[in-house]
Structure 1
Amino acid sequence: MKESRSHTTFNSFKNKVHLKSIKIRLLFFTGLLLLLSLLSISYLSYYFASNTVRDGIDEEVKASATVITQTLDTHLQSKLSVVKTLAKMAEGNFGNTEKQLDFIKKAQQQNPELTGIVFSHELSGGNSMNQNGEILDLSTRAYIKELNNGKSIISDPVASKVDNSLSVILGAPILNNQKVAGNFTASVAIADVTKTVSTAEFGKTGYATLLDSAGNVIYHREKERIMKTTVKDFNSPELTEAFNKAIKGEQGTFTYSFSGIDKFGYYARTSNNWVLILSAPLAELDAPVNNMASRMGLITIVIVFIGLVLTYILANRLTRPLVRLKQSIELVEAGDLNHVLIVRGGDEIAQAAVSFNRMTQTIKTILTEVSLSSNQLASSSEQLTAGAEQTSKVTEHIANAIQVVAEGAGRQVDSVTSGAYTAEDMSNKVRLIVDNTKQMSEATGVVTVKAKEGGLAVEHAVSQMGVIQNMVDELAMVIKTLGQRSDEIGNIVEIISGIAQQTNLLSLNASIEAARAGEAGKGFAVVASEIRKLADQTAYSAEQIAALVLSVQADTGHAAATMNTAVEEVESGRQAVNRNGDLFKEIQHGITGLGDLVGHVSGYAEQISEGAERIVTAIQTISEVAETNAGETQNVSASAEEQLASMQEVTSSAAALSNMAEDLRSMVDKFKI
């Protein structure tokens, strides 16, 4: 996002200064390059010079601070040595106040820088005496405790008990029998102590500040601050931090602001835990570097101006042939390809002019060939248009024909589908016929069995009729031989005749029943039942005959006549039963033939059913193929329509190509070849 904004800003600036001319661009970028280069050099020079100056200042201020602190320490230590010597000498006068007083007066005369010499022959310091013989109470002084511990002291500045002036107390213990028994102190005026600090210089206006271990101002250029303000009263956290570091034994540089002026400072500690601060305004210390930066800026402006003048001269020499090349290009732009650019020199611009002449000649040759090709292209496009139109007509005819075929295929699919449904229905009905035929075949088999059973029953009846006839014959002979019982036998014969008549009627009924219905078994069952009943009656009558034999002899004659009639009737019944047996045989043969015929019909029906199923399968296959053909016909129809559309596009493209060829020929005609 930032790159986009900077690029936009640069483009807007370029539009404002109209950087369209190579000369202006060359001047602009050369000046910009010179300016950036010189500014970079100036900045680096300023940076390194500033560091060098700062390093020099650091070394200088460090050396100055070292000299001042060492001078302070030496001065105070020398005074402390004097105090120690005097304390040692005062030990000889311990306990004698007058001698001690004379001694300190002489010591002050010999060491006038020592003021306020005080001695005490007791540890509390409450009865101390000065050189004037005045008793002073120094028991509240903090340094008394250190003196009682046998240590020499250099105190922080305190107000004198005598004249209230600021002094530094130097003290040493007084020994008696190798034990601390008192103390000896002397005052040194603060002005004498800070003489070295007050004369210290740092730069032109820099100065030194001296602070005691509690941060009280011992010396400052502003006299009103001495022992009245502390380091915190300067309201500078940097200064307070520097003081705290110095108390810890560190030393170094720092910057801070005081009275609205930015300052550079150096802090160091003395041996008695005083802090020395050397400071000077930053502007004063940086003045040499700033002056150098001003001179570098002036030099940069001069060099950039000279560079722009030289660049302008060079740009004129470079752009003159470019102007001629531009004019030639404008002629080519106007369509004049006969112009030849005059080449002078052998530099890159001259080589570009040679390449331009070659390019012009090449364009001229190309345009000549393009003119010829455009004519041929126009002719070919017209032929292509005519062929495309003819192809479009043929394609349209094919599409219409395929559409008709597609519609016929659709109808064919519908017909085949309907035929498939019909064939399937026919197959179902053929299956039903096969099932019914199988059932009829099974029923015919049952009828055949029953017909065989009926034939056997008729044969048995014929056999029984023969037996009856024999019995009747025998009975007639018996009647003849038993003429005496002919009457009774006649009655019995009548009964037997009645039975025969009933049997005849039942046989006729059985024949009629067998002829009427196919279920002959039921009729024959009824006949058999009646025959059994008649047999029972015959048995019963036989018993009567046995019982009445004796009583029927009188009727034998009549029975003989009746028996003759019975013989005739029995013969007639036997013949009727024989005819029924023949009829049952014919029925049996007919039913057997019908069963075979039904079996053949059932086989043919099964074959027809299988054929119908194959027909249904074939019709379904034909239906699927017809549907596929219909779908493919639709696809072919769609492809034909797409081809028709493509040919129409080809026709349109050919027309457009013809127009483009005409336009190309018009454009080529604009050039002078």
Structure 2
Amino acid sequence: MSATDYRGEATFSAYLNVHLNKVKDLNPDFKWIVVTEISAAEVLHSAESLGQRTTFITLCIAAVIGLIAFFLAKTFIGPLTVLAGQVSKASEGDLTVRLEEFNRRDEIGVLGQAVGSMLDSLRDQVRRITEVVTVLSSAAADISSTVAQLATSTSKTSAAVTETTTTVEQVKQAAKVSSEKAKKVSSSAQQAVQVSESGKKATEDTVHGMNLIKDQMESIGETVVRLSEHSQAIEDIINAVQDIADQSNLLAVNASIEAARAGDQGKGFAVVAYEIKNLADQSKKATEQVKSILNDTRKWVNAVVMAAEQGGKAVDAGVTQSLVAGEAIQSLASSVATSSQAASVIDSTSEQQFIGVDQVARAMANIEHAMRQNLDGTSQLEAAAKELEELGEFLRGLVHRYKI
């Protein structure tokens, strides 16, 4: 810190607190301080002398540095400035610059030769890039033209494939309907075969039944003939009984006459004769009734015989017709079986055709999907070719900036 001494002169002083509590005969409540002072004039005199010497040395160093800088500027900065100018021209696109004056054997010469080699390499690369850009532009134009033609062709092909796919789908639907109808025809044909087989069996059963009826009718006819013969025998017996009744009646009349002649002795015989006459009359009436019944029975028997004969003829006709119908049904069954086999073949063929058309439809759908992808890819390729052509033009514009 700065202060003044007892003489009023400026000084620099410093102080330090000192603890003297352990010293005898000193008041412990006092605070002791050690103070040192030095004259400010004495201190500043040394500093001014040092500053003057420092300023002189600094001026000398600056003069030396200036001389060195002038020498370096003349020796190095000039060539570097020329080199910087040439490099600046090259950066602006002028690659015609030459660095032939840099034949020095120092670092600047090495730098100039390196920059010259770099410019030579850059000129060669720009020349090659120009050639590549020319080829690239031509190829891009050809690719664009080819891709445009390919896009047109792909679009037409896609339209044709779409139309073909639609047609194949229609054919598939038609084949499906045909297959379903063929299955129905095959099912109907099989049912017809079953019906014809049933008809054939029914006809055979009918013929068999008609033959049984014919046999029964013949048996009935024979039975009726035997019944007619028995009726005739019964009639003969009835006629004999009637004759006996007539004779009994005649005998009863004669007995009555004889009983009347006998008087009282003949009364009992008269009663017997009367009873015999009644029995004869009853027998006559009974025989007449039986005869009437036999006549009716004979009529019925004759009717049954005629009916049996007509039934036999009808049965014969029915058997004949059944045989004809059986042959017709047999022929129909054969035709239906042939038709059923043909329908089965048609059904199988239609199903195979439907499967084939379905496979074709799936293949066409896959082709259509692939064509759409190709069309999208062609569009992307066309866009890429256009971008490539634009890139070629951009590179050509960049290369034209350079002079070689």
What is the TM-score with the length of structure 2 in the denominator?
0.59
Matching residue's letter, 1:498:
D
Select the residue among 93, 98, 110 that pairs with 1:340. 98
Q: CA deviation at 1:463?
A: 1.7
Q: CA deviation at 1:318?
A: 8.4
- What percentage of aligned pairs have identical amino acids? 14
Select the residue among 200, 222, 235 that pairs with 1:463. 222
Q: Is the 8 A contact 2:182 2:347 kept in 1?
A: yes
Q: Is 1:496 aligned to residue 323 of structure 2?
A: no
Aligned to 2:85: 327
Q: Of the two structures, which has the highest relative contact order with CA contacts closer than 8 Å and spacing of 6 or more?
A: 2
Q: Distance in 2 between matches of 1:609 and 1:206?
A: 140
Measured against aligned partners, the alpha-carbon deviations of 1:82-126 in whole angstroms (never above 9, x if no partner) come to xxxxxxxxxxxxxxxxxxxxxxxxxxxxxxxxxxxxxxxxxxxxx
Matching residue's letter, 2:121:
T
Q: Distance in 2 between matches of 1:404 and 1:463?
A: 86
Q: Is the 8 A contact 2:140 2:388 kept in 1?
A: yes
User: What is the SS of the residue equivalent to 1:670?
Assistant: coil
**TM-align CA RMSD:** 4.8
Q: CA deviation at 1:668?
A: 3.0
Q: CA deviation at 1:362?
A: 1.7
Q: CA deviation at 1:452?
A: 3.4
Q: Any unmatched runs of 5+ in structure 2? A: 1-15, 35-60, 247-283
Q: Any unmatched runs of 5+ in structure 1? A: 1-203, 211-217, 226-257, 262-279, 281-305, 508-572
Q: Is 1:580 aligned to residue 311 of structure 2?
A: yes
Q: Is the 8 A contact 1:479 1:485 kept in 2?
A: no
Measured against aligned partners, the alpha-carbon deviations of 1:152-182 in whole angstroms (never above 9, x if no partner) come to xxxxxxxxxxxxxxxxxxxxxxxxxxxxxxx
Q: Is the 8 A contact 2:231 2:294 kept in 1?
A: no
Distance 1:621 1:576, change over 3 A: closer
Q: CA deviation at 1:434?
A: 5.2
Matching residue's letter, 2:300:
Q
Measured against aligned partners, the alpha-carbon deviations of 1:2-24 in whole angstroms (never above 9, x if no partner) come to xxxxxxxxxxxxxxxxxxxxxxx
Number of equivalent positions: 318
Q: Is the 8 A contact 1:409 1:629 kept in 2?
A: yes
Matching residue's letter, 1:381:
A
Measured against aligned partners, the alpha-carbon deviations of 1:17-64 in whole angstroms (never above 9, x if no partner) come to xxxxxxxxxxxxxxxxxxxxxxxxxxxxxxxxxxxxxxxxxxxxxxxx
Q: Is the 8 A contact 2:93 2:402 kept in 1?
A: yes
Measured against aligned partners, the alpha-carbon deviations of 1:396-427 in whole angstroms (never above 9, x if no partner) come to 32222222212212222332333344344445
Distance 1:626 1:206, change over 3 A: farther
Distance 1:497 1:336, change over 3 A: same
Matching residue's letter, 2:177:
S
Matching residue's letter, 1:411:
Q
Aligned to 1:393: 152
Select the residue among 142, 145, 163 that pairs with 1:404. 163
Aligned to 1:639: 370
Measured against aligned partners, the alpha-carbon deviations of 1:430-478 in whole angstroms (never above 9, x if no partner) come to 4554565565556545544532332221121122134235445656776
Q: CA deviation at 1:482?
A: 8.0
Aligned to 1:356: 115
Q: Distance in 2 between matches of 1:325 and 1:642?
A: 58
Distance 1:626 1:219, change over 3 A: farther
Q: CA deviation at 1:606?
A: 6.5
Matching residue's letter, 2:399:
V
User: What is the SS of the residue equivalent to 1:223?
Assistant: coil
Q: Is the 8 A contact 1:375 1:665 kept in 2?
A: yes
User: What is the SS of the residue equivalent to 1:415?
Assistant: helix
Aligned to 1:451: 210
Matching residue's letter, 1:584:
V
Q: CA deviation at 1:577?
A: 3.2
Alignment of 1:240-279 (within 5 A): none
Q: Is the 8 A contact 2:228 2:298 kept in 1?
A: no
Q: Distance in 2 between matches of 1:586 and 1:461?
A: 18
Q: Is the 8 A contact 2:133 2:396 kept in 1?
A: yes
Q: Distance in 1 between matches of 2:197 and 2:168?
A: 42
Distance 1:644 1:352, change over 3 A: farther
Distance 1:209 1:498, change over 3 A: farther
Distance 1:654 1:205, change over 3 A: closer
Q: Distance in 2 between matches of 1:600 and 1:220?
A: 167
Aligned to 2:400: 669
Matching residue's letter, 2:28:
K
Select the residue among 169, 174, 192 that pairs with 1:415. 174
Q: CA deviation at 1:599?
A: 6.3
Q: Distance in 2 between matches of 1:612 and 1:653?
A: 59
Q: Is 1:383 aligned to residue 142 of structure 2?
A: yes
Aligned to 1:368: 127
Q: Distance in 1 between matches of 2:345 and 2:18?
A: 128
Q: Distance in 1 between matches of 2:20 and 2:195?
A: 143
Q: Distance in 2 between matches of 1:416 and 1:486?
A: 98
User: What is the SS of the residue equivalent to 2:105?
Assistant: coil
Q: Distance in 2 between matches of 1:490 and 1:320?
A: 183
Q: CA deviation at 1:374?
A: 3.3
Aligned to 2:252: none
Distance 1:451 1:668, change over 3 A: same
What is the TM-score with the length of structure 1 in the denominator?
0.38
Matching residue's letter, 1:337:
L
Q: CA deviation at 1:632?
A: 3.4
Query: Larger % of strand: which?
Result: 1
Q: Distance in 1 between matches of 2:193 and 2:82?
A: 112
Aligned to 2:46: none
Q: Distance in 2 between matches of 1:472 and 1:621?
A: 79
Q: Distance in 2 between matches of 1:222 and 1:435?
A: 151
User: What is the SS of the residue equivalent to 2:29?
Assistant: helix
Aligned to 1:626: 357
Q: CA deviation at 1:363?
A: 1.9
Distance 1:423 1:351, change over 3 A: farther
Farther off after superposition, 638-647 or 607-616: 607-616
Q: Distance in 2 between matches of 1:448 and 1:221?
A: 171
